[in-house]
Amino acid sequence: MPPVTIASSVTNPELGAAVVVQGLVIILLMSFALRNIVKLLKDGEKNRRGRRGAAVLVLLSLLIPMVRFFDIEIRLLLAPQYSAGTTLGFCQVFARGRGIEFRYEADGVTYTNCNTFHPLTAGEIDVPQGLYGVRYSRKHPEKGRMDFRNSVR
Q: Are 1 and 94 spatial neighbours (Cβ–Cβ below 8 Å)?
A: no
What is the distance in angstroms between the CA of the first residue and the CA of the last residue of the chain?
A: 28
The pLDDT value given to residue 49: 84
Section 58-63 average pLDDT: 94
CA–CA separation, 117 and 96 (whole Å): 10
Say if residue 119's pLDDT is above 90.
no
Per-residue burial over 4-19, b if 16 or more Cβ lie within 10 Å, else e, is: ebebbbbeeebbeebb
Task: Write the pLDDT tens digit of every residue in 104-115.
Answer: 999 999 999 999
